[in-house]
Structure 1
Amino acid sequence: MFCGAVSCEKKQETAEPVFFHTWESLGDLPGKTASAPVLHRPPQDAVPWAGTVSHHILADRLIDAWFRELAARRTVSVFFILSPSHWGLSTERFSLTAGSWRTGSGDVRSNGTIVRDVSRKLDVSGDDRVFAYEHGVSTLMPYIARYFPEAEAVCIAYTGDAPLNQPMAEKLTAALSPYFSEKSKDDFFLLISTDFSHHGGRETTAANDAKTEHFFAEPSARSWYAVVCDNVPGIYVLARLLPPRTRSCILYHTDSYRLSGEQEDDITSYFFSYFWE
């Protein structure tokens, strides 16, 4: 059956897997928009293990370039994608799925073993319906399939807006921390699916982005509070998992007005970043 604009297909027997559509599998290709200059690339020997990426298809060219840069630097076995739950469909505090995503380059599968482990630690069961609609995840899957065709995913969606629910964010941090220890993080990548300042004009957007830039300049467990975005728990988890010697860079910084030339009074901003040691 089909359910939703970014739809899912589920076979009659519940034991069989769930498949979610993406913009690419539905033939809804991105329109042409402006690009943005590269601000900073990591050093040649840097191996990023985490980063922030927009989930607005308006930023298609930059999302593609971000994944292409990452693929030139490392392989990834599993992407842990932390996403806001945009439509209020989550039936539990954390939504997870063992489903797969259809793309033009093949399917991106969930890692069922890790999904079960993380679900147990978060005390939740599967919440498939959320991912039939969640563009914070589905937007990114075609790029993963394109540049990391063997990679699997572990996707977690939750209420992303401020104020932070710190007990919830601490529980998520504890569930993910074993996968981002010194020994294990070589196989995994922590992908924070987030857009930053929302619904402001140019002055408000610039002021909010100036606050956010403090986190990228000095990433730490203390600087997360400065970030203005739609995925505050994701930024918190990232900040809590950062080793003391972490470095970061902003590959691209732009916004919806600069990319499209439209809606000057309703701007969303984008930071594409990497973190490494």
Structure 2
Amino acid sequence: MTTRVPRTLLIILAILVVLGAGIFFAVQYLLNRAKPFVLGEHCQITTPDGTLELDIEQSQVAATIAAVAARRKLPERALEIAYITAIQESKLSNIPYGDRDSVGIFQQRPSQGWGTVDQLLDPVYSTRKFFAALEKVDGYLDMPLHDAAQEVQRSADGGAYADHRATAVILAGAFGGRVPKAVHCWYPPAEKPVKLTPEAARKELTRALGAAAKKDSWLVATWYVTHAQQYGLRQIGYDGVRWVAESGHDGWKDDKSTKGAPMAIG
């Protein structure tokens, strides 16, 4: 014997299914919209050597150090030396104070001839000074990383630099551009319109990287992502993928239209 389901019941069930689906997608939409506010500001770095998180300022400093290294055509090992130094000295932050008269990401001292306070608080300038000193160290590429760092810094405890080797390897692979799609950042929408422009971002990148440097690289795309909040960049496209600020936590998504040099859209 076959029991027939009343037509009215079928209609009610269909309505419930539609309402359920609508509620599900509405909740998903609201969660996605709320995610930037809930998650705050951060960047995630992922390479085959590991995963770590930095705040946006730290990521900007890491990207700038990598750009200056590329401008000087330095190998990845030199970049690792710079990173273990900056992590130990300032935690990759551009701080206006330190031991005695030390300032900046490498805690360089004006009284020791590194430059003025204003100069040393410019990450591009201070990184150039660090690499210029490092390149004068005979055989620095063949030394343990912490020994090379100590030759430049002359710190009271040079052995402390060795504690940051694993982190430096991850940072160098990601920000140096060897590992694609390694860095993505997220942050809430700005309360006020950002006055800086994509053109200002390109000028600042050129100041760090150099006008003649190759602009078609993951190093450049990563620099743009870490500076997107500062310059009001909404999207970065490169190498068949795209990062969108509104959904920055989701990382890089496939987009075959993104070919050629990294594209930054304000």
- Structure 2 length normalisation: TM-score? 0.27
Larger radius of gyration: 2
- Structure 1 length normalisation: TM-score? 0.26
Higher strand share: 1
Higher helix share: 2
